[in-house]
Structure 1
Amino acid sequence: MGKGLLDLEKHFAFYGAYHSNRINIAIHMVFVWPIFFTALLMLYFTPSLFNLPHLNFFLFGNHFVLVLNFGFLLALIYSVFYVCLDVKAGSLAALLCAICWVASSFIASRLGFSLAWKVVLVAQILCWTVQFIGHGIFEGRAPALLDNLVQAFIMAPFFVLLEVHNFILISRIPLPLQTMLYNWYFKLLQALQTFFGYEPYSGFHAIVQAKIEAEINEWQDQKQKLIS
């Protein structure tokens, strides 16, 4: 169990206390990773940080260049941090970070800066706006970024992956569809053995759920005191 910045149990409980409504959770599942992706897309246009040859690739018959710039550095920092939080789930998140870096580099090279910054601006405004709506209307609580910027910008993509399991449990999804989702993700995430039901360690979800409920109760008590 990690301590401080790497205390997965503590941070996931804090995150869960702000994301207990199934609609709000679904919104974050859809809109958190695009924020990271479009940030990498914009950072593609930053200069190289290392005096190394660029990496040339072909994708769908199109040539593009991978540059070891601030986009690469951001993806690397996120990847290393996630692996430090939890090796198995963190490795999956690190793989997704790498895929985002490569894919965003490809798209950025095709769009060019003059169009890319407009796409990024629209995407960022849309993603952040929808998440604020999710908190304001469905969760009924201000987003965590107002209390913990580090968690909002660095940990959220990782926690979204861990939330997929909880989302299916609390959602009223028909059993056949649940089965299909489980099977689809099982094939995608074989490196994690079985992603759904995965715990960083035995009893993790139970401990975190208890902390989430305690955090929510404390917030509700404080809110009630302010009202009275």
Structure 2
Amino acid sequence: MTIFNLVDQAASYGAYHHNNVNKFIHIVFVPLILLTAFIFVDNLPHSAFLEDLLIPLNSISNGLIPIALSTPLAIALSLYYCILDVKVGLFSMLWINAANYAAVYSINRYGLEIATYYGAIVHIASWISQFVGHGVFEGRRPALVSNIFQVFIAPFFVTLEVVFMFGFLNRTRIEVDHKIKQNIIALSAGKSKKIQ
């Protein structure tokens, strides 16, 4: 499996997310997990030097693009998704950076302690809902159990699923669906290590 191949990445993740209810749960809760993860990243201890660097960067952006500890993560995810597919990557970039903005805004508006407290509640509830989706509807463990890297594919996958729902990238959808079916057969046969 190539980390820069859209079909490989989407099909690897999709083999664990084939049930429509589970997909919907992920479409709703993966963005909330990412938003709250940005709050947690912004909560990490950092040096006074970094804080002194963030203040002028934020004054340059004038609040339009918040610069925080989570911003490089949001940009890196967006760029990786653009490498997988430019159109899906740009669409991902919009909502990922909006989530980063919402995280920074909530910290600035409500304070780090309150934003972190409510962020933790939303984060835990979102993870629980996804485990319910896997246990009740999918009948298969989460992809991250086999490969922790799949955590970083989740936002791309849910974006791709929304793109597919609106009827875009049909040829890609057919390729991904075909590979997902192959991967599910491999999983069912107990050959999860051979998923491609």
Shift of 1:65: 9.2
Aligned to 1:70: 69
Q: What displacement does 1:131 show?
A: 0.2
Deviations 1:63-100 (A, max 9, x none): 96966332111111111111111111101111212211
1:35 match: 33
Partners of 1:65 and 1:11 lie apart in 2 by 32
Give TM-score scaled by structure 2 length. 0.84
Task: List structure 1 runs of 4+ shifted beyond 6 angstroms.
Answer: 63-66
Structure (1 or 2) with the larger CA radius of gyration: 1
Selected match of 1:214 from 182, 186, 190: 182
| 2:160 counterpart residue number | 162
More strand by share: 1
Rounded Cα–Cα distance in structure 2 between residues aligned with 1:115 and 1:162: 33
156, 161, 168: which one pairs with 1:198?
Answer: 168
Shift of 1:45: 3.9
| Residue 25 of structure 2 corresponds to residue 55 of structure 1 | no
Shift of 1:7: 1.0
Q: Is the partner of 1:51 in helix, strand or coil?
A: helix
Matches within 5 A, 1:83-102: 83-102=82-101
- Shift in Å at residue 208 of structure 1? 1.5
The percentage of counterpart residues that share the same residue type is 35
Structure 1 equivalent of residue 5 of structure 2: 7
How far apart in 1 are the matches of 2:66 and 2:33?
20
C-alpha displacement of 1:121: 1.2
TM-score, normalised by the number of residues in structure 1: 0.73
User: What residue number does 2:141 align with?
Assistant: 142
Specify whether residues 65 and 116 from structure 1 end up closer, same or farther in structure 2 by C-alpha distance, changes over 3 A only: farther
After superposition, residues 104-143 of structure 1 pair within 5 angstroms as 104-143=103-142
* In 2, Cα distance between equivalents of 1:8 and 1:64: 33
Inter-partner Cα distance in structure 2 for 1:24 and 1:164: 14
In 1, Cα distance between the equivalents of 2:115 and 2:39?
8
Distance 1:66 1:116 in 2: 19
TM-align CA RMSD: 2.6
Q: Post-superposition shift, 1:197? A: 2.3
Q: Secondary structure at the match of 1:4?
A: coil
Q: Judge conservation of contact 1:82–1:90 (CA < 8 Å) in 2.
A: yes
Deviation at 1:134, TM superposition (A): 0.5
